[in-house]
Every structure is written in structure tokens, then in C-alpha cells.
Structure 1
Amino acid sequence: MALGPRLDLRQSQQLVMTPQLQQAIKLLALSNLEIETFIGEALAANPLLELGESAGGETPAPDAPPEPAQPEYVAPAREEAAVDQMIDEGLAAADQPLDIDPAALDTDRDTGDGALFGGDSGFPAGSGEASAIDMPGDAAESLAAHLAAQVGAAAQDERSAAIAMYLVGLLDEAGYLTVPLRDAAHDLAIPLDEAEAALALVQSLDPTGVGARDLAECLALQAREADRYDPCMARLIDNLDLLAKGGIKQLKRICEVDDEDFADMLAELRGYDPKPGLRFGGNGGNRAVVPDILLRPRADGGWDIALNQASLPRLVINRSYYLELRKGCPDKAARAWLSEKLADANWLIKALDQRQKTILKVTAEIVRQQDGFFRRGVLELKPLTLKAVAEAIDMHESTVSRVTANKYLHCARGTFELKYFFSSGVAAADGAGAVSAEAVKAQIKALTDAEEPGAILSDDALVDLLRARGFDLARRTVAKYREAMGIGSSVQRRRQKALEAVR
């Protein structure tokens, strides 16, 4: 066979992430109140958008001028049919692009660092009619806005800034990254080392400790900033569980320090902020929780599930203003800009509508699987995983994870984060299935709360009592759940009860 250069024509499929799809995916993880602020930013950036009368209203008035059939801004029918699937998979098929150049979107925004991901440069207080947020003041700055103002100067290029902004959007109110970094890299279709570099950039921002994935990493970041992260401090931070149990002697041996040095290390550690994000208004601790989803029982025994429209503004396109602007466009560049804005508005409205449908679909499945909890209480809470819900409604597990992040459901039993309904299971004593870990924790709390000062239950006694109630757990599992709830050992509880009795 002869060797030499030749030309081959091959056809292949490639998965890409367009800026619009990245925006749609990001919207899934936002709460209604964050969506309210996002919409405020979209209104400021796009002159064709305006607020409708309500989140659940119908389309604009019949007498509004119809949308002209212009091919440069109308998305093809095949793309509209594929929106649900693309958002669920987190990827846009290469053979279904928008009719406009994605890179041209958001070019008129001031917040260039976040434009790639929908211009998310912060979550200041919104402007909805029934916002229940109790902000400390109008000047309160959100954590996301504070970090976004630093990203541009800290990043080496626009790509790293965009990835860092995406990670900023995944931080919880305390400043922690709760989504696995590997998942974030997968969603952005980037190598893991590039995501790690972007996370390092986020962790270098003020306040020190943001971007940490757990408490130990948060404290370690602050110790490094204070130039106190020596081997002794590193060992102390790596063994925080021992510190919580009061294992001082063991810790001193591990850290190889005397009493004086250990006291200094503890004083240094207590000076760090375990939740650096809570000092900011937009993520503040004095903010009331506003439910995103409302659950009510129906007369026929079923459930009514609805989004909280009081905190969910509705976007519509001002058709008449579009026609007026189009008539006055003097040149081709102006008409192209206007078409881009209309395409951007159409996509955003479509993405918001898809977000609502996806939230309701996921919530309906959670309610179906946790029906016993809503009717009879926490003891009926079943083990549930993201994968189980995703398979039941034919969605990707990462989509369910985003939908349940930062969302609260209000029912007759109170207001719960959607993540609350996902819990690991433990074996039942009779061998019939499994029970939720949350149900076990509720039983442990009830038993320890009912203790008398002279009859404190040991972990072995708790195991026997729980087994009698139908929970088959090992002693170490009971101890793990007890510690996770902040309930001390039997010795600690005996001392506490004795002090309370004296008082």
C-alpha cells in the first residue's frame, strides 16, 4: 500500500456547550428569589423584555402586534422541540445551533466577566411584589457580586474568568462549593485540571475561605492566608472530628505540641470564619427562607403542587416596541443587533418556562415517593437518591441535582429544602426493606430528649431501643448519627443534665 498524503471526508457528531445552554442549565440551580434578580438584570440588558402581569399569566394581549416572520431571529422548529432534551443532558447538539452567533450575545453588558453564563454577576435584592427577604440594608452586597467584582482582575484570560464565574454561581450561601468539581468540569466540557485551576482562582478571592469544599479546606485556606499553616496546624485541621469529641490529649500527640502551643493553635483556629459567605447581605444569615414550591392537599387525597408566583416574575417580549425599533433601524448592523436581542429574549423566556416545568416534574416525583412523610411525618421518610428520581422521570441525575439545589418546599408540616427528602437508608429490624436515615435521627433525638438526669442512655441502650422500634443499626452507626445531630456522648449528656438540674 502506497504511503502519502490524502484528503478524507468524515462525518461525526460533537457535543458542545453554547452560552445559551449554559445559561439555561444555570437557571435550574437558582431559587425563585435569585431568578427575580436575574430577571432584573435581563430587563436592564435587553430593551425588548418587560415584566408580565404574573408568573402564571397567559401570553400578551390579543391586540398586541404579532411577531413578524423573520428567519434571522425565529429559532427553527427542530431546536424548539429539542430544548427539553438539551437542557436535561447539559449539552447542545452541534447540528442544532441557534440562528444567531452565540458569541454576539450579551456584548452590550457591562459585566463582561459573567456574560458567558447569562451575566450572573451577583444576586442583589430583587424587586418582586412579595419578596419575604429581610435584608440588613439596601447597600448589602451579595457574595456572588463581591466575588464577581474580583474575578476579572484575578483571571489571566476571559476563559478562566468565565469558568471561575460559573463556579461562583455554584457556591452556597456560606461560600462552600457543594457540587463535585468533576461534575462542574463535565457540565462545562472542560478538563478537570482546568476546573481545578479555576477553583484555585475562586479560593484566592476575598473573603478567604470561599470556594472550599468542606470545613477543613475552608479553615486551611484561612490558615495559609495568615501564614499559620505549618505541619502542626495541618494535623489539627485534618482531625477536626477529634476536636469536636474533646480528644485533646490525642490531638496534642498527633500535632506533637505541648499545652501552650496547642492553646495558641486553638485560639488561632477559633479566630477563623467557618462560613465566610454569611457576612454578605445577599447570602446573609438574617434572611427569611422563602419557599419556591407550595404543596397543598386536595380533597380527593392527591396533592396540588405549584411554584410560588409571589417570588417569580414573568417575562414577556414587547412586540410593539420591537416593530417600532425595527422601522427605525438605519443600517444592517443595527438590524442585526435588534435581531440578536429578540433571539436572546426568546431563548431566555423559553429557558425560564423549561425551568418551571422541570422543577414541577422533579417535585411531583419527590412528593409521590415521599407521600408518607407529607401525610404522617418524618418517621415515614423513605430512603431516596437523586438517581432514583432521575430514572423515574427520565432525566439526567445532574439535572435533578440542580433542580433540588437552593429550592424550598412549603407544606403543612413546614418548609423544607428539597435536598432534605434525599436520604440514605438503613435496614429495618424485620428485614422488610429499609428506612430513611432522617427517620432514625428523629428517633434518636426523641429518645435523648426524653432522658432523665439519672437515666442517661448509652449508645448500646439506644441500639436496643431502636431495634425494638424496628430499626436495625450497629452501635457505630448510632454514634455517627448522634454526633451528626450535635448530640453529645452519654457522659457529656449526663454532665449537661446535671448542670441543668442545678440551674
Structure 2
Amino acid sequence: MLNISISTNISQNQSLVFTPQLQQAIKLLLLNNIELSSYAESIAEENPFLEIDLPEVRMPASQGANVAQKNSEFDPISLLPDKAGESFGARLFAQVDDTLKDQAERAIGYALASHLDPTGWLTTPLSLLAQNLNVEEKYVAAVLSKLQRAEPTGLFARDLSECLSLQIPTTDLDHTSMGIIIANLALLERGLLNEMRRKVGCSADELRYFLRRLRGLNPKPGLALSEGDQAPIRAPDLLTAKGPNGEWFVKLNGSTLPIIKVDEAAGQRVRKFLKLEIDQIYVRENLGNARWLKRAIAQRNETSIKVAAEIVRIQLPFLEHGIKHMRPLKLKTIAEAVGLHESTISRVTSALMIQTPQGTLPLKTFFSNAIELNGSDEGASARMVREKVRTLIGQEVPIKPLSDEFIMQKLNSEGLSIARRTIAKYRKLDKIPSSCQRRRNYQLQATM
């Protein structure tokens, strides 16, 4: 006998709803002050109750290490307002808007764009991004696949092979051969050209042709979006200096921030003459959106100040004495100090630049891990050590590349307690091959 019964179960699920306002809030954190002005202006064009007073953008009097601390004002060296839309971040977000029309996908797209390196690579694991967004990883992967059609081709790649492969269209007659070469880049690094020929099934002349094509691909497509946008191409978003009383201060650069006004009086006047409910709804929605944008920008500005002030407090030795005194710092440290999530700190620090006595720098510059330094309890900044490694390798003689052992000994002689494997780790982080691979690369370049 068939028994049919009806029961009610109550369960609690946690999910993130990608409302238009949530999309806006995420986007505001990803914009610098100049981009924020352009964004607010575009919103005001569609909202009759929103007024935007745009700033007269000015560049600092000096960008060098000897910025006068007593004068935090700006010289009247104006930048063209339309240059704001040409920055790396603005171009990325514009492509997200053009590529993705679904609201939920755009929210994921903004998060992906905010984690893109200047090279155009996405080095943050999709699993971590999915966790921060509280969505399944497959949704993030699907959005990433769509964004990988962005221009220049190769953007949003997760490694070198993927970056190069994206630049070879499937309709290309050499697609299969180039795909085999890209999948076996390790053979080129080892100089095994004959084995590469066997894998591709081509002659020596054909291989040389394919290698010339390979050299024509761009391993760092993001740099094309940053042309003309190298710091300090724009006025800083934040200012920090030592006041007359000897205390350091941090403030927003008011000359780059838009002033948001909500015309409440106009809303009240219009309401008196509207009879239809649909017209009343239009007025209420636009007034509500204008008020929300004003509050959201104020919250964004407050968050920026809190984060920057804590960074300045920790990095005072660097601000006063230079890069050799950069302290180790993690996103988690700032997040715990200001009571925000690490992902929020990451977004804020990837977008903003701050003027300091050491020059105008992105906030993300101040973050690095610790390396043991003789005579120091705290250690040295890993960023400073990585810069030393890059500098040494950049100055090496091609016929005699520097080994990790030599670099280790060189840094140890300067008082940095660092192991050879750490040198290797920093090389890999900066996509620098080993000394043997670099020697082969130099030889390969000489034959092509």
C-alpha cells in the first residue's frame, strides 16, 4: 500500500546575493580617486537628483624622495580629465563591463580583475577567490573563461603556457604545432631543440619559424594596458607627511575626489506635481540610489583612511629613512587592526596610491614577509630582498649568469640571513629562470 505524507523541514543556508548595490560597493573599492570621479559622473548622467562636483586634478609638487613635508598642497600642473579612463584598472573594469552582462558574473569579474597582476596574470587561486565570494569555484572558472577573451589576448591567464596559448587562435594554421611547443617550453629552457623537432614533427627551418612566432607573443599582456600609466602618472589618492608637531598624518587627496550632492529639494518639488504611481516610484528610486551612492563613497573613503593610517603607523621607519627600513607586513595584520576582511584590504591596497616623503607609491608596496637580518629582532622586508635579487640578476653578464649560491653569499655578506632555497623561491615568484636556464636562453636568443 502506497503511503503519501507531507512534511516541513527548516534549514539554514548561507549565500551571497549579488545585488546591484553590492556590485557598486565592490567596484568602489577597486577604483582610485580619479576613476571614482569618472564613475560617479557616469551615474549622475542617469540620475536627475545626483550632482557631482568634479575636482580639478593636480599633480604633486615633487615625486622624489625629498618631498617637502611642510607643504602638502599641489602645484597647478593639470592632467587631462579623460586620461583617467586610460589607467590599467579602468581599462580592466571597462572590459569586465563590456564582456559580462549578468549582475552575478560582473561581481565575480570585478573580483578577478582586482587580483590581476600588472603583467595581466591571475596568480590568486580560483578556490580562494570562490571562498571569499562565497560561490562555487565552477562559477568563478566560467567567468574567467569569458574574461580570457579580453584584449589584449593573454589577459587573465594563470601561467605562462595559458597566456601564450590564448594568443594563438584555434583558426590559426599553426595552432597545433604552436600548441605542442607551448606545452613543452621546458625543452626550450633546456636547449633540447632536436627533441622539440621530434615532438612537433617539423624540420629545423620550420622550428626556427615557430620559435620566431613564439618570440612574437607577449608573455606580459597586461603591460600594454599600463603604457603611459607608470607611477606617478596621476595624482595620488592619499597624502601622508609629518606635521609641524612631529606627528604623522594621513588624509585623502581632496583635489582628486568628487563631491557628491543629493538634490533633496528638487525631489520634494517634483513629487508635488506627480500624479501617477509609476512616476512617484521613479523619483523614490532615484533619490534612494543617490543617497546610497553618497553613503557608499563616504564609507569607501573612511575605509581607505583607516587602512592607510595603519600602514603608515607600521611603516614609519621606511617613510623616514627609506627602503632599507621597510618592515615586514601582511594583509592579515592590517585586517585585524582595522576590523576588516583580508579581501577588503587587498582591494583597497591594489587601487590606491599614496604620496610619501619616499615618493608616490601604491599601497600594496608596503606589504612583504620577514627575512632574518643580523642585529634586528624584527627582520628585513622580503620585498626589499626580492628587489636586491632582481637587481643583481638584471646586472649579470649573459655569458656568466649568477648562481643562487653566489647571490646568497652576496646577501649574507650584507647581513641578510637568507638561504639558497629562498633565493630560488623569489626567482620563481618573479618568473626568473635558474642560472642554467638563463644561460641557455641567452644562447638560444643568439641563434634566433
Q: Calculate the TM-score normalised by the size of structure 2.
A: 0.75
Question: 2:192, 2:269 → 1: CA distance?
Answer: 76
Instruction: List alignment gaps of at least 5 residues for structure 1.
Output: 56-128, 153-157, 497-503
Q: Which of residues 216, 230, 246 in structure 1 aligns to 2:176? A: 230
C-alpha displacement of 1:368? 1.6
**Residues 1:47 and 2:42 are matched in the alignment:** no
8 Å CA contact retained: 2:109, 2:144: no
Counterpart of 1:145 in structure 2: which amino acid? A
2:68 corresponds in structure 1 to none
1:463 corresponds in structure 2 to 408
Counterpart of 2:52 in structure 1: which amino acid? L
1:27 corresponds in structure 2 to 28
Aligned positions of 1:76-115 closer than 5 A: none
C-alpha displacement of 1:412? 1.2
**Counterparts in 2 of 1:186 and 1:329: CA distance versus 1, 3 Å:** farther
8 Å CA contact retained: 1:463, 1:475: yes
**Counterparts in 2 of 1:340 and 1:238: CA distance versus 1, 3 Å:** farther
- SS of structure 2 residue aligned to 1:51: strand
- Count of residue pairs the alignment pairs up: 405
1:473 corresponds in structure 2 to 418
**Residues 1:145 and 2:91 are matched in the alignment:** no
8 Å CA contact retained: 1:132, 1:289: no
- SS of structure 1 residue aligned to 2:219: coil
**Counterparts in 2 of 1:392 and 1:31: CA distance versus 1, 3 Å:** same
Q: Which of residues 218, 221, 227 in structure 2 aligns to 1:285? A: 227
Aligned positions of 1:47-446 closer than 5 A: 47-52=48-53, 131=79, 135=83, 142=91, 144-145=93-94, 148-151=97-100, 158=102, 162=106, 166=110, 169-170=113-114, 175-177=120-122, 180-225=125-170, 227=172, 228-230=174-176, 233-234=179-180, 236=182, 239=185, 247=189, 249-250=191-192, 253=195, 256=199, 259-276=204-221, 279=224, 283-287=225-229, 288-429=233-374, 432-444=377-389
Q: Which moved more, 1:42-51 or 1:292-301?
A: 292-301
Deviations 1:213-234 (A, max 9, x none): 3443221111244644537644
8 Å CA contact retained: 2:311, 2:366: yes
Percent identity between the aligned chains? 33
C-alpha displacement of 1:289? 3.7
C-alpha displacement of 1:399? 0.9
8 Å CA contact retained: 1:173, 1:284: yes
2:16 corresponds in structure 1 to 16
- SS of structure 2 residue aligned to 1:477: helix
Question: 1:11, 1:345 → 2: CA distance?
Answer: 37
8 Å CA contact retained: 1:163, 1:195: no
Deviations 1:368-398 (A, max 9, x none): 2222111111111122211121122221111
8 Å CA contact retained: 2:35, 2:85: no
C-alpha displacement of 1:480? 5.3
Question: 1:266, 1:15 → 2: CA distance?
Answer: 49
Question: 1:390, 1:136 → 2: CA distance?
Answer: 29
8 Å CA contact retained: 1:210, 1:276: yes
**Counterparts in 2 of 1:142 and 1:465: CA distance versus 1, 3 Å:** closer
Deviations 1:220-267 (A, max 9, x none): 111244644537644545647x86xxx451465467466434422321
**Counterparts in 2 of 1:372 and 1:190: CA distance versus 1, 3 Å:** same
Instruction: List alignment gaps of at least 5 residues for structure 2.
Output: 57-76, 443-448
**Counterparts in 2 of 1:389 and 1:142: CA distance versus 1, 3 Å:** closer
C-alpha displacement of 1:347? 1.2
Counterpart of 1:296 in structure 2: which amino acid? A
